[in-house]
């Protein structure tokens, strides 16, 4: 075998390098100084370890020619998951790092330090005698033409070793001195940390240095004054000139020295030559800025000031929940950002301000010697001249000495057993397997002064026991929790996945940029798909999607996510920019806002003559290309394309909702060059006649959206003013002023304090069993303003919110009214992985027990499903009046509407309380795991050899497509047992039941996509197990065809499972992720549900990259069964023998005469246990003529 390390390195036989030193884990290639791959033998990092030492750098080998991985102080590394994006064929097997990064964004670090390669049979390249090329910088390749005579490349998968060490970036430049003259001052410089998920950088981000004093102008012995000095004031964000900025000498009495002109320039006299002086610039809407005055040696000094827009503070670090034992210490931390940077912090305990002098707090609050009375909620508030912001509350639990937060007795948790396993006289099929609540355990002494969440000990499973459940004459194995205890906390990855498309045409945003705050984190894919990993301790995820071709308005979305781990799917809609119109920059222009069909514009944007400016401040009077895109809330279809969640921070730091009357984005450019333009003061005029709630007229304001925080910031107040649109019509306008100097989204909004919460739950089916609630469902609520007397025909939408369901449902904020129940209504939908859930029907008869709300409150809410009046409409949404509950009416105090101050009551409401419902509509499906696991709660995963999902960080879903020719739909079961691993061989992993779905084009044909347990490593990541999978249709069925490619693959990868019984199909599941040509569909994702949904969509479609909800039964199938059923209404053979014996005997003779032409008689399979009954060997049946073009024909 030969190893290639780079373009300059010669191939060398591994045997010559390793001699007789064994390779411990795999081929490990570390990065040398010349970026060549190196063979590391005898000391490859142990695969069982989560954090591994980095490989040595440089050339040369230790004795025995074995390069051993050595730990580096303060550094560490971890292996990625295994990647296999290419299959050998054609030129060979190519696993390039560039391609892996394209398909698996964010899964490989920027600079891997080592690489491992193995075949899919878990063999080393030296064991199969193949030549390979490896590099941590480039990846892996195996070229067929370089292999020995008669050999071709195996199928390899690889992984990379990534460093965990955080690193400081370079120091910034020194800032200006804090004192201009007269006394010594200080100056600072900053650096930022390129953090990892697990550790911050060591050291300080700020450095302070003294600067010497300098004499002030006018003092004895000072140099002669300069004749004058010049300067400019510009925006730090855009570089545009800022007029009317006030200039002062820093460190001197506050005397105005100069003002900047229209181009941001200013001039002043009286400075001393050679003196070190700072100036400060002040402008409304901007934070003050400092700059030094520097002499250019020609009698003139210059100063350039960059001002940052004044921004309200926003939280970047929230306090986290802590558990302590009485007498221990605890530290809470918070941090806010903004312009200027917040310096003042306030801490509250259960809503009461803590004395600063007593606790001596800043951004950190330290409580020593805790007492039980100090338990409760803590939050902080940061304040600046721009505003304030409150953090999320953190719960402090104080335990008494000897008290345990994790009880050893597990809580009850029910799982459903197979249909053939009743457990009591009532026929219940639920069994208590127990669960350990993932509550935190008390922190250690080392964690008592830390800022972040406690590193980690949580309540979890300490011991499990195997039970055997009597089930249809056999025993079904099941593992139950026997004891709970404190252990390492699970750290599941939290992801948001989805797709970005145009709101009008559905066109995908191809390779659009994605920003979190001001940091670019990735791109969308060719089909608009994206994946965002949520940073730890995130409370509010704000993402900005940018079209690099400038066809769409930037979309700024507050994305919901599941804090318990896994991925949430989100469809993001982008608003297409309006085609620009030509304006004369030297004349006044008015542009209408609002284009709802058949309605008057909501207002207009009035630009006076000379309003357009170049960034330098120069007035532009030529032709202007003006594009103004208005999002009109009177058009219900625009709600999905609206940016942010319509919230702002009030003076107390509370996040308060807004009710929108329209958003608009502007883009002004020079007609010839296309250069961007700004504007001076312009007018925004809003038609007061479009405001149907009189109380909103006095509160209407103009807002702009902060793209980093997703919060709206006030630009000005709209005040009533008369206005004439024509000679015959007078209208009243609300008028506000605006300067457009940044590309921001603007909004016409009013704060709304009439708020409530709506309780919604999602269920796995329409039985609404409390134990079958769905978590991870995105519930979306759009507030509507209905027309009086026409609740089903809203006048406009005003706000929207999305919340992810947890174990107790979801509480969604909504506008409500206590005087008029129909003042506000709500339109509610639910999605799970892109699939829409169904709402409870409201017609022909409304059933309060099904809706989940008792009368008479249900009548007051006016519940209506979308298809209430038109059965052709979708059933996936409902509309209600958000009637604020009357506290004096007992019928309205039990949900589903809760007052805004009763959020805790809403979140903790029992399942018996009133709530609104969605449920999943799907074909009959059943899943059983020997080791219970809740796919909506990744923290419930238990490491066990019999776990269906062996790796909690990534989930690989495998499906096989079964075609059934028969008059009905049939249940198909997969029975999955250990096949080759010595610890699990012959032991059950689980069962999967799926009902086949009819093909709409083929008569008497259906298809089933049946999940099976993938082959591969078990949880200890040491040995591969090839799962023994049995596919068993229920009924009188026999196997008639097997995909020829699949059969060939199985025969080439022994051992081969016996398939003597024609009523089932058995295989040792392939390790490779095959594809539709084999009838096998494999998808890997961080969310098990999403992985299964994608795989099922591909299976239905019969392709490896498509998606369909319509079953194409004869496309991409693995195995075909034929099932026979007695036609409805036909007498049994015994009845026919009694009524017409001659005809019955003739039928027997015909059957016997054709028996030799048949493949094999149908055999009844014991569907409950999967046991196979013996049957005769069959000859081949003539295939049916009903086939789609392109079907892969198989043989039994």
What whole-number distance in Å separates Cα of residue 354 and Cα of residue 49?
Answer: 45
Around Cβ 789, how many Cβ atoms within 10 Å? 7
Checking if the pLDDT of 284 tops 80, the result is: yes
Checking if the pLDDT of 741 tops 70, the result is: yes
Tokens read off for 938:
């990744």
Tokens read off for 1139:
């009524």
Cα-based distances in Å from 335 to 320, 642, 869 = 12, 29, 52
3-state class (DSSP) for residue 1098: helix
pLDDT digits (tens, 9 = 90+) for 251-275: 776 788 888 888 888 887 766 555 5
Of 412-426, 641-655, 1142-1156, where does mean pLDDT reach its minimum? Answer: 1142-1156
- What is the sign of the dihedral through the CA atoms of 810, 813, 819 and 820? negative
Partners of residue 217 on adjacent β-strands: none
pLDDT digits (tens, 9 = 90+) for 782-840: 988 765 544 444 567 878 889 999 889 999 999 888 888 888 889 999 998 778 899 99
What whole-number distance in Å separates Cα of residue 96 and Cα of residue 160?
Answer: 12
pLDDT digits (tens, 9 = 90+) for 450-461: 665 555 688 999
C-alpha dihedral (1144, 1147, 1149, 1150), degrees to nearest 10: 170
β-strand pairing of 457-471 with 474-488: antiparallel
Checking if the pLDDT of 297 tops 90, the result is: no
Determine the average pLDDT of the residues in 28-39.
34
Residues in Cβ contact with 480 at an 8 Å cutoff, skipping those fewer than 6 apart? 432, 433, 434, 464, 465, 467, 932
Checking if the pLDDT of 727 tops 50, the result is: no
pLDDT band at 286 (very low <50, low <70, confident <90, very high): confident
Of 51-65, 121-135, 390-404, 588-602, where does mean pLDDT reach its minimum? Answer: 51-65
List the helix and strand counts (H, then E) for the chain.
Answer: 11, 81
CA 629-634-640 angle, to 5 degrees, is 65
What whole-number distance in Å separates Cα of residue 365 and Cα of residue 394?
Answer: 12
pLDDT digits (tens, 9 = 90+) for 1141-1151: 667 566 655 55
pLDDT band at 429 (very low <50, low <70, confident <90, very high): confident
Give the pLDDT confidence score for residue 633 in this predicted structure: 86
Tokens read off for 605:
């944007």
pLDDT band at 195 (very low <50, low <70, confident <90, very high): low
pLDDT band at 869 (very low <50, low <70, confident <90, very high): confident
Of 44-53, 929-938, 984-993, 1097-1106, where does mean pLDDT reach its minimum? Answer: 44-53
Asked, as a colleague might, if the bond just before 896 is cis with ω within 30 of 0, I would say yes
Give the pLDDT confidence score for residue 15 in this predicted structure: 33
pLDDT band at 379 (very low <50, low <70, confident <90, very high): very high
Determine the average pLDDT of the residues in 1087-1096.
87
What whole-number distance in Å separates Cα of residue 309 and Cα of residue 1123?
Answer: 73
Checking if the pLDDT of 933 tops 70, the result is: yes
3-state class (DSSP) for residue 244: coil
Checking if the pLDDT of 631 tops 80, the result is: yes
Determine the average pLDDT of the residues in 959-979.
94
3-state class (DSSP) for residue 252: coil
Checking if the pLDDT of 1165 tops 90, the result is: no
pLDDT digits (tens, 9 = 90+) for 561-579: 888 887 888 899 999 999 9
Of 144-148, 253-257, 589-593, 1107-1111, where does mean pLDDT reach its minimum? Answer: 253-257
Give the pLDDT confidence score for residue 562 in this predicted structure: 86
Tokens read off for 364:
């950190």
Question: What is the percent of the chain where pLDDT is above 70?
Answer: 80
- What is the sign of the dihedral through the CA atoms of 62, 64, 66 and 68? negative
Q: Which of 254, 259, 255 is nearest to 244 (CA)?
A: 259
pLDDT band at 1171 (very low <50, low <70, confident <90, very high): very low
Give the pLDDT confidence score for residue 1105 in this predicted structure: 84
- Pick the more confident residue, 123 or 762: 762
Give the pLDDT confidence score for residue 425 in this predicted structure: 66
What whole-number distance in Å separates Cα of residue 936 and Cα of residue 921?
Answer: 18
Cα-based distances in Å from 717 to 144, 312, 683, 783 = 72, 18, 12, 24
């Amino acid at each position: 075998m030969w190893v290639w390390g780079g373009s300059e390195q010669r191939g060398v036989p591994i045997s010559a390098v390793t001699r007789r030193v064994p390779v411990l884990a795999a081929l490990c290639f570390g990065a040398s100084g010349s970026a060549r791959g190196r063979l590391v033998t005898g000391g490859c990092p142990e695969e069982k370890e989560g954090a591994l030492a980095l490989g040595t750098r440089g050339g040369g080998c230790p004795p025995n020619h074995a390069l051993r991985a050595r730990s580096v102080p303060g550094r560490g590394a971890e292996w990625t998951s295994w990647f296999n994006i290419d299959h050998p064929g054609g030129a060979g097997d190519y696993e390039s790092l560039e391609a892996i990064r394209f398909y698996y964004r964010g899964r490989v670090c920027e600079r891997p330090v080592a690489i491992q390669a193995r075949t899919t049979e878990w063999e080393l390249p030296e064991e199969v005698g193949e030549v390979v090329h490896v590099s941590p910088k480039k990846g892996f390749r195996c070229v067929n033409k370089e292999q020995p005579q008669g050999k071709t490349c195996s199928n390899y998968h690889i992984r990379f070793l990534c460093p965990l060490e955080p690193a400081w970036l370079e120091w910034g430049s020194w800032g200006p001195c804090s004192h201009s003259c007269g006394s010594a001052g200080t100056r600072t410089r900053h650096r930022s940390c390129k953090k990892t998920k697990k550790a911050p950088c060591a050291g300080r981000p700020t450095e302070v240095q003294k600067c010497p004093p300098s004499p002030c102008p006018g003092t004895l012995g000072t140099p002669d004054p300069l004749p004058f000095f010049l300067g400019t004031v510009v925006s730090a964000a855009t570089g545009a000139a800022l007029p009317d900025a006030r200039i002062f000498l820093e460190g001197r009495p506050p005397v105005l020295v100069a003002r900047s002109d229209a181009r941001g320039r200013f001039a002043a006299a009286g400075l001393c030559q050679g003196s070190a002086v700072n100036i400060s610039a002040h402008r409304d809407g901007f934070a003050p800025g400092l700059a030094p005055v520097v002499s250019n040696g020609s009698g003139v000094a210059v100063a350039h000031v960059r001002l940052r827009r004044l921004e309200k503070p926003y939280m970047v670090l929230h306090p986290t929940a802590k558990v302590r034992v009485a007498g221990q210490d605890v530290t809470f931390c918070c941090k806010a950002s903004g312009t200027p940077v917040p310096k003042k912090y306030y801490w509250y305990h259960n809503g009461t301000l803590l004395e600063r002098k007593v606790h001596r707090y800043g951004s950190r609050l330290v409580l020593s010697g805790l007492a039980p009375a100090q338990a409760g909620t803590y939050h902080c508030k940061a304040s600046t001249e721009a505003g304030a912001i409150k953090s999320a509350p953190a719960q402090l639990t104080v335990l008494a000495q000897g008290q345990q937060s994790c009880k050893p007795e597990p809580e009850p948790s029910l799982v459903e057993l197979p249909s053939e396993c009743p457990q009591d006289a009532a026929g219940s099929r639920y069994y208590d397997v127990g669960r350990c609540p993932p509550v935190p355990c008390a922190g250690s002494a080392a964690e008592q002064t830390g800022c972040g969440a406690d590193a980690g000990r949580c309540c979890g499973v300490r011991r499990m026991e195997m039970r055997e459940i009597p089930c249809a004459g056999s025993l079904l194995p099941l593992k139950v929790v026997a004891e709970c205890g404190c252990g390492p906390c699970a750290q599941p990855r939290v992801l948001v996945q989805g797709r970005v498309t145009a709101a009008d045409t559905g066109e995908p945003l191809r390779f659009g940029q994605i920003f979190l705050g001001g940091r670019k984190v990735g791109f969308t894919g060719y089909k608009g798909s994206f994946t965002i990993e949520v940073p730890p301790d995130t409370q509010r995820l704000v993402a900005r999607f940018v079209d690099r071709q400038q066809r769409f308005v930037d979309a700024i979305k507050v994305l919901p996510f599941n804090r318990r781990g896994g991925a949430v799917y989100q469809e993001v809609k982008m608003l297409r920019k309006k085609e620009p119109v030509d304006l004369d920059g030297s004349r006044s222009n008015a542009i209408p806002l609002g284009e709802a069909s058949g309605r008057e514009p909501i207002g207009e944007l009035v630009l006076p003559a000379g309003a357009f400016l170049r960034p330098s401040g120069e007035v532009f009077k030529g032709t202007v290309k003006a594009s103004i895109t208005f999002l009109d809330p009177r058009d219900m279809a625009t709600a999905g394309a609206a940016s942010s969640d319509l919230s702002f921070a009030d003076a107390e730091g509370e996040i308060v909702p807004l009710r929108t009357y329209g958003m608009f984005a502007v883009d002004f450019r020079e007609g010839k060059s296309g250069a961007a333009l700004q504007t001076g003061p312009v007018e925004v005029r809003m038609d007061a006649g479009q405001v149907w709630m009189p109380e909103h007229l006095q509160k209407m304001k103009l807002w702009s959206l902060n793209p980093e925080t997703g919060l709206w910031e006030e630009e000005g107040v709209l005040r009533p003013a008369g206005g004439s649109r024509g000679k015959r019509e007078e209208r009243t306008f609300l008028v506000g002023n605006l300067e457009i100097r940044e590309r921001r989204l603007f909004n016409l909004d009013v704060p709304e304090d009439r708020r409530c919460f709506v309780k919604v739950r999602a269920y796995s089916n329409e039985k609404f069993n409390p134990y079958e609630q769905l978590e991870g469902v995105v519930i979306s609520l759009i507030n509507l303003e209905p027309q009086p007397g026409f609740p089903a025909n809203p006048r406009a939408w005003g706000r929207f919110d999305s919340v992810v369901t947890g174990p107790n449902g979801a509480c969604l904020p909504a506008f409500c009214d206590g005087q008029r129940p129909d003042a506000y209504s709500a339109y509610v939908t639910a999605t799970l992985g892109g699939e829409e859930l169904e709402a409870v029907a409201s017609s022909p008869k409304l059933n309060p027990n099904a809706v989940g709300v008792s009368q008479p409150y249900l009548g007051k809410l006016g519940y209506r499903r979308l298809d209430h009046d038109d059965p052709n409409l979708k059933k996936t949404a409902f509309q209600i009046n958000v009637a604020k509950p009357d506290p004096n009416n007992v019928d309205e105090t039990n949900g589903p509407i809760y007052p805004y101050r009763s959020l805790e009551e809403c979140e903790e409401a029992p399942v018996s309380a009133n709530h609104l419902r969605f449920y999943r509509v799907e074909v009959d499906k059943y899943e059983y795991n020997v080791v219970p696991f809740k796919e909506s709660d990744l923290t419930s995963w238990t490491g066990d050899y019999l776990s269906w999902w062996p790796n909690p960080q990534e989930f690989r879903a495998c499906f096989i497509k079964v075609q059934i020719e028969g008059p009905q739909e049939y249940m198909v079961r997969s029975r999955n047992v250990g096949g080759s691993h010595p610890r699990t061989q012959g032991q059950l992993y689980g069962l999967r039941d799926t009902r086949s779905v009819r093909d709409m084009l083929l008569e008497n044909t259906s298809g089933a996509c049946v999940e099976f347990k993938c082959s591969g490593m078990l949880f200890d990541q040491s040995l591969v197990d090839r799962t023994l999978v049995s596919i068993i249709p229920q009924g009188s069925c026999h196997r008639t065809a097997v995909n020829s490619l699949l059969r060939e693959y199985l025969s080439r990868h022994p051992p081969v499972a016996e398939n003597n019984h024609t009523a089932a199909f058995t295989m040792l599941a392939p390790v490779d992720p095959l594809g539709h040509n084999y009838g096998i569909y494999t998808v890997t994702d961080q969310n098990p549900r999403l992985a299964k949904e994608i795989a099922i969509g591909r299976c239905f479609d019969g392709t490896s990259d498509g998606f369909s909800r319509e079953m194409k039964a004869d496309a991409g199938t693995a195995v075909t069964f034929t099932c026979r059923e007695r036609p409805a209404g036909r007498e049994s053979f015994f009845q026919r023998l009694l009524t017409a014996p001659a005809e019955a005997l003739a039928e027997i003779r015909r059957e016997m005469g054709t028996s030799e032409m048949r493949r094999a008689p149908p055999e009844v399979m014991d569907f409950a246990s999967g046991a196979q009954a013996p049957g005769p060997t069959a000859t081949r049946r003539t295939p049916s003529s009903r086939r789609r073009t392109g079907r892969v024909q198989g043989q039994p």
